[in-house]
Structure 1
Amino acid sequence: MSAAVSRRVTVVTAVHGPSARFLPDAYTSLCAQRLPTGWEWEWIVQEDGTTDEVRPHVPDDARVTFRQGRPGGPGVARTIALAHAEGAYVKVLDADDRLTPGALARDLAVLEADPTVGWTTSRVLDLLPDGSTVGFPDDPDDGPIARGAVLDHWKRNDFRAPVHPASLCVRRELLVALGGWMALPASEDTGLLLALNAVSRGWFSAEAGLLYRKWEGQVTGQAAHVDPAERAARTAVAEARAHALAGFDWTFPSTTATPPGPPAP
């Protein structure tokens, strides 16, 4: 990895037709980020489909790449986008959400300072249709998240994670090692969060880093999202994956890696 690429954050956005109109707001929030000297961002916008609805809303910016693919859900779109991600870190930004000022810099500060932290999350505020925001009352304290803590909380609180997966920033090598997002019709980002926490420590920033838009076309607001049978299946496979990963003798960063040998003659 070149020095330039190693100092890059790849922002990945999955988008479909109904949410495409919010892309300019997401882009504005991305342009407002102030990164440390020498750092840059790239934005990969991956359409979950091959329609003509999204492209008109994609900003004309050399840092922005737009791609399309056959539909498979947001998890598939984000994972296929990894083929083109060049940054050392991958930041999630859903098409209908917005970053708050300083969000990327705070993620970088944690990940650059502590190589034992595999991922970061932040406080999330719901962005309501009238422009007001609402926070969550039970956010954890600012600081590290121990391995296994997310799964424990998730099981004790009706499958609600203590931190929001839409605010994830992840070391690219760790994200790729886990196979990206889960192949689920929903909760694919929660499944990834559980997997990440099964093998690595995380970090929570108590300063709001994401505005999570609430609107009438939101996928998580549809009836299918809370179908009992599907929800039970999603949670079962996500939990099973996290338990399986936790049971393996592998953590990030690896503690069993073989030291490099002497150079070849």
Structure 2
Amino acid sequence: MSELLSIVTPVHDAAIPYLSNAYESLAAQILPDGWDWEWLIQVDGGDGSEVPAGIVSDLRVKAGGNRKGGPGVSRTMAWGRSSGSLVKVLDADDVLPAGALARDIRVLGQQADVGWTVSRVLDLMPDGTLVHYTLGDPEPGRMLRGGLFDYWSTSHRPQVHPATLCVRQELLAVAGGWMALPASEDTALLMALDVLADGWFIKETGLHYRKHPGQTTAHVDHTGGPEWAARMGAIRKHAEALRRQSAPAAACWPGGSPGHVGV
């Protein structure tokens, strides 16, 4: 029986036209021997019937929906339907470059005490060009727990891109899934994971992050004002509480023994 990687994707109206591109990039991925994927698409304010028929005809794709609650709610609802030992995020309007999923699986299979991975990102601009997203990429390899949160605490921007996250199912459950925020819920989860366990930065590009006017991050309230301040406050309170209460990182997360995947 194959090991399973669960990919969770929240969808709102403006992103539905991009789903086919995301699917094409996912279907082209080559996974290590013994692995397969499932794609949990969650339509915010819909029932899943909005997903194009050409996508849901793939039996690995599981479309669903929920009452309108925002991206954090939809991500968590998709995760609730997942079955994999690893959980990967993929936004509906983004694209996976070749090898992205295999690299995540191999790192988490070979590094038993690492709980999550992130990777280098290229912004996919409206004209089709790719531009390196960076606030100063960290050194490739292990990221010691708490380091990203310390960086974010002074800048309120994550040093790495949360849209590239792959995490162990058990650790995601400990963190409580995604916070019910109107935005920045992916950053909130990354900060929570960072104070709970070491991570790993993959130097190869793991995502083409589409830039377009309809994305959540283009909203006027995303980078300032009362809503922004409340989001930042919620992220900080959650991560600080987890840091105070968490025990030292596990010596080996479930499913993380060396040699767990083929290379």
- The normalised TM-score by structure 1 is 0.90
Determine the structure 1 residue equivalent to 2:260: none
Looking at structure 2, the residues matched to 220 and 63 of structure 1 have their Cα atoms a distance apart, in angstroms, of 29
Looking at structure 1, the residues matched to 191 and 34 of structure 2 have their Cα atoms a distance apart, in angstroms, of 32
**Any conservation in 2 of the 1:20–1:53 contact (CA below 8 Å)?**
no
Determine the structure 2 residue equivalent to 1:152: 150
Looking at structure 1, the residues matched to 124 and 203 of structure 2 have their Cα atoms a distance apart, in angstroms, of 17
1:13-61 CA distance string (max 9 Å, x none)? 0001110010010001101111111110010101011268822366020
Instruction: Look up the equivalent residue of 1:98 and give its one-letter code.
Output: V
Query: Which of 5, 9, 25 lines up with 1:9 in the alignment?
Result: 5
Looking at structure 2, the residues matched to 45 and 99 of structure 1 have their Cα atoms a distance apart, in angstroms, of 16
- Which of 1 and 2 has greater Rg? 1
Looking at structure 2, the residues matched to 93 and 197 of structure 1 have their Cα atoms a distance apart, in angstroms, of 19
Deviates more, 1:246-255 or 1:236-245: 246-255
Instruction: Look up the equivalent residue of 1:16 and give its one-letter code.
Output: H
Looking at structure 1, the residues matched to 48 and 233 of structure 2 have their Cα atoms a distance apart, in angstroms, of 36
Looking at structure 1, the residues matched to 53 and 166 of structure 2 have their Cα atoms a distance apart, in angstroms, of 24
Change (3 A) 1:57 1:49: farther
Residue segments in structure 1 that go unaligned for 5+ positions in a row: 256-265
What is the SS of the residue equivalent to 1:124?
strand
Question: Deviation at 1:212?
Answer: 0.4
Query: Which of 17, 23, 31 lines up with 1:35 in the alignment?
Result: 31
Change (3 A) 1:246 1:217: same
Confirm or deny that 1:98 pairs with 2:99: no
Change (3 A) 1:116 1:35: same
Q: What are the residue-to-residue correspondences of 1:105-124 with 2, within 5 Å?
A: 105-124=102-121
Looking at structure 2, the residues matched to 51 and 148 of structure 1 have their Cα atoms a distance apart, in angstroms, of 38
Looking at structure 2, the residues matched to 54 and 124 of structure 1 have their Cα atoms a distance apart, in angstroms, of 28
Question: Deviation at 1:147?
Answer: 0.7
Query: Which of 192, 195, 198 lines up with 2:192 in the alignment?
Result: 195
Looking at structure 2, the residues matched to 203 and 64 of structure 1 have their Cα atoms a distance apart, in angstroms, of 28
1:52-84 CA distance string (max 9 Å, x none)? 882236602000000011011111111011221
Looking at structure 1, the residues matched to 28 and 230 of structure 2 have their Cα atoms a distance apart, in angstroms, of 40
Determine the structure 2 residue equivalent to 1:142: 140
Instruction: Look up the equivalent residue of 2:192 and give its one-letter code.
Output: A
Q: What are the residue-to-residue correspondences of 1:1-265 with 2, within 5 Å?
A: 3-4=1-2, 7-50=3-46, 54-56=50-52, 59=55, 60-137=57-134, 138-156=136-154, 158-253=155-250
Looking at structure 2, the residues matched to 249 and 87 of structure 1 have their Cα atoms a distance apart, in angstroms, of 24
Tell me how large the CA RMSD over aligned residues is.
Answer: 1.6
Instruction: Look up the equivalent residue of 2:200 and give its one-letter code.
Output: W
Looking at structure 2, the residues matched to 52 and 136 of structure 1 have their Cα atoms a distance apart, in angstroms, of 32
**Any conservation in 2 of the 1:17–1:51 contact (CA below 8 Å)?**
no
Question: Deviation at 1:206?
Answer: 1.1
Instruction: Look up the equivalent residue of 1:142 and give its one-letter code.
Output: P
Residue segments in structure 2 that go unaligned for 5+ positions in a row: 253-263
What is the SS of the residue equivalent to 1:100?
coil
Number of residues of Structure 1 aligned to a counterpart in Structure 2: 250
